[in-house]
Amino acid sequence: MHPLPLECLSERLPSTPPPCRLVAAVDDRSRAQPGQGSLFAMRADRAVELLGGVADTASLLRLTTRARLRWAVRRGLVIRTGRGRYASPGVDEALQASHRLSGVLVEDSAAQYHGWEMKHRPASACVAVPRKRNVLPERRRGVRVRWVDLAACDVSGRATVPGSTVTWCAARLPFDEALAIADSALRHLDVTKAELLRRAEAMPDRYRARCLHVAEHADGRAANPFESVLRAIALGVDGLDVEPQVWVDDVGRPDLLDRVLGLVIEADSFEFHGRRQAMKHDCERYNAFVVGGDVWC
């Protein structure tokens, strides 16, 4: 749990974001209703970071306000990538790097290019160039360069196609980061489970096991990267067999459920919800799970 940003109380100058205001719990249309809430909205760029580096308007307005979102876009702290879609500035930086090297975005940079939510945004651009190309050290400074010959069918525009992107993330990234990306790709309907399994089987021996591990456990029902990372941790615990977003009676869908153990696992935080009413609603739901006989943690 993080303390409220006290600096927002003194924001008044034109060069700062619009002053924070109290907002109510967000309704089904994700619009803040003034006058009934009890928590300050966070900065829009921080909200995008919490949501994995890319987000749609509805998701952002659960954490921030339209005024703060517009201010962040004007300042370049948040990039508008399409109608109702926003991203951290790293997307544009990665595109500049791929253009400079005449390469293609791969791995997490390609995932960000496709607009998928991730555990965290890439620390630097990841660009693939042909194996025999000589790239001077000063030109690749600040860029993760991959020397690989990509098939034409695996490239679309400035990045690898969705299926190839997920597979190379599975091959090179830590399991929790790769799983979050695979879940997001499935959630956005950009890939299918069958395609991920097929591509994993076709990978070189040194990558095949890692890719199959991600492909077998990827699940588009996962709601966000926070939940995907929690599931990745749970998958490493002997005796646990969890599924995301499974309905429990008429109570609701917990983040993770072990049907055999009757164990409900939630990945919530006061900061992520951004509204006191949202946290209160979840606490009531947790009580309902326990009353119904499930164990909550």
pLDDT digit string, tens, across residues 226-238:
899 999 999 989 8
User: Average pLDDT of 120-141?
Assistant: 91
Q: What is the pLDDT of residues 241-278, one digit of tens each?
A: 888 877 766 666 777 888 888 788 877 655 555 556 65
pLDDT value at 168 more than 90: yes
Separation between Cα atoms, residue 40 and residue 22, nearest integer Å: 5
Contact indicator for 255, 244 with CB cutoff of 8 Å: yes
**Residue 25 pLDDT:** 34
pLDDT value at 59 more than 60: yes
In the DSSP assignment, the letter for residue 85 is E
Contact indicator for 205, 221 with CB cutoff of 8 Å: no
Q: What is the pLDDT of residues 151-167, one digit of tens each?
A: 999 999 889 999 999 99
Sheet containing 79-82, strands listed edge to edge, beginning at the edge strand earlier in sequence: 54-56, 85-87, 79-82
Burial grade of 133 (CB within 10 A; 0-12, 13-18, 19 or more): exposed
Separation between Cα atoms, residue 47 and residue 58, nearest integer Å: 12
Confidence class of residue 56 from pLDDT cuts 50, 70 and 90? Answer: confident
User: Average pLDDT of 86-106?
Assistant: 83
Global pTM? 0.68
**Residue 239 pLDDT:** 86
pLDDT value at 289 more than 80: no
